[in-house]
Amino acid sequence: MIRVTLPAHLQTLARTNQEVELDVPGEATQRSVLDALEARYPMLRGTIRDQVTFRRRAFVRFFACEVDLSHEPIDAPLPHPVASGSEPFHVIGAMAGG
C-alpha cells in the first residue's frame, strides 16, 4: 500500500481526503504511483503531469522522506519508507499566488 498526499485543489477535484492509499503493482516509482493514482482518479489526469509527454507540471513538486524527489528519474525506485507505506509520497502545489 502506497500513501499519497494531494494538494487542496486536487482533493476537491478528486473528491477525496488529503491522503489516499493505492495498490501499486510492481516496483514503486514516480511513474507507477502516478499511473495508479490516475487509474483510480481519472479526473487527475493532466493535472500533475502532462498526458502526452508525462512531464511533471512546472508548479508541481514531489516530496518524500524530507527530500525533494521532483528531479529524480520517473522510473527510479522511490525510497523504501514510501514503498512500504510508512511514509507518504507528497504531491505539492508550488507556493505561489495568482
CB of residue 7 to other proteins, shortest distance in Å? 8
Q: What span, in angstroms and rounded, lies between the C-alpha atoms of 24 and 57?
A: 22
CB of residue 43 to other proteins, shortest distance in Å? 4
CB of residue 87 to other proteins, shortest distance in Å? 24
Q: Grid coordinates in use for 45?
A: 489526469
Where along the sequence are the contacts to other proteins (CB under 8 A)? 7, 9-10, 12-13, 43, 45-48, 50-52, 57, 59-60, 93-94, 96, 98
Is the Cβ–Cβ distance between 56 and 49 less than 8 Å?
Answer: yes
Q: What span, in angstroms and rounded, lies between the C-alpha atoms of 48 and 60?
A: 7
Q: Which is nearer to other proteins, 1 or 8 (CB)?
A: 8
Q: Which is nearer to other proteins, 21 or 50 (CB)?
A: 50
Q: Which is nearer to other proteins, 9 or 80 (CB)?
A: 9
